[in-house]
């Protein structure tokens, strides 16, 4: 009998610091907010070749019912340069939506709660639609996405109704 061995990573925090002021979303033309790889933020999740899919959860210093809005972007490697280094492609919208903090207490510390409700309002131009799992049940809501072929994941918080927020990613 053979067994399939799938990697199950622990969660990694995407942003270096918890976000307390809303980000500007990418708009395609404002300096620093274009879809160009050169405008990619420094605090991103970098996927290795073993990553096939990702799960994203949100937590922050919040009260039950606090809301937020988010956008996720992915960047893929689009070829190799003459020097052997990889060329990173433009930002592609993975998904965007809203979220609500629930009552599940986060591992991060006192006052931190997990988001228990996530609504995907823009599934992006994705070949595999992102899915929100266990939304609205006062448990930890997860967004699951096929991430094969992508190198970087960026999460932007476009509205913050809590004290702070961050995203955490696990891969498989």
Reported as a single tens digit per residue, the pLDDT across 106-121 is 988 889 999 999 999 9
Name the residue among 79, 75, 86, 6 with its Cα closest to residue 46.
75
159 exposure class (CB count in 10 Å sphere: 0-12, 13-18, 19+) = middle
CB 71 within 8 A of CB 92: no
Question: Does the predicted model carry a pTM greater than 0.75?
Answer: yes
Is the pLDDT score of 165 beyond 90? Answer: yes
Q: Which two tokens stand for residue 119?
A: 């609504």
The whole-number pLDDT of residue 131 equals 87
Instruction: Report, as an integer, the average pLDDT of 44-68.
Output: 94
CB 161 within 8 A of CB 67: yes
Instruction: Report, as an integer, the average pLDDT of 17-30.
Output: 94
The whole-number pLDDT of residue 85 equals 63
Is the pLDDT score of 83 beyond 80? Answer: no
pLDDT over 70 percentage in the chain? 92
């Amino acid at each position: 009998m053979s067994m399939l061995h799938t990697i199950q990573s622990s969660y990694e925090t995407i942003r270096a610091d918890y976000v307390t002021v809303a980000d500007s979303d990418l708009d395609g033309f404002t300096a620093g907010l274009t879809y160009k790889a050169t405008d990619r933020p420094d605090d991103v999740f970098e996927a290795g070749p073993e990553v096939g899919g990702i799960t994203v959860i949100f937590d922050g210093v919040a009260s039950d019912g606090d809301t937020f809005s988010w956008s996720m972007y992915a960047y893929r490697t689009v070829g190799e340069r003459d020097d052997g280094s990889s060329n990173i492609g433009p930002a592609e919208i993975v998904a965007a939506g809203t979220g609500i903090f629930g009552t599940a207490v986060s591992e991060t510390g006192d006052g931190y709660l997990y988001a228990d409700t996530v609504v995907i309002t823009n599934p992006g131009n994705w070949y595999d639609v992102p899915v929100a799992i266990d939304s609205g049940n006062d448990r930890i809501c997860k967004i699951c996405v096929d991430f094969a072929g992508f190198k970087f994941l960026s999460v932007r918080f476009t509205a913050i109704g809590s004290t702070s927020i961050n995203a955490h990613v696990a891969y498989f």
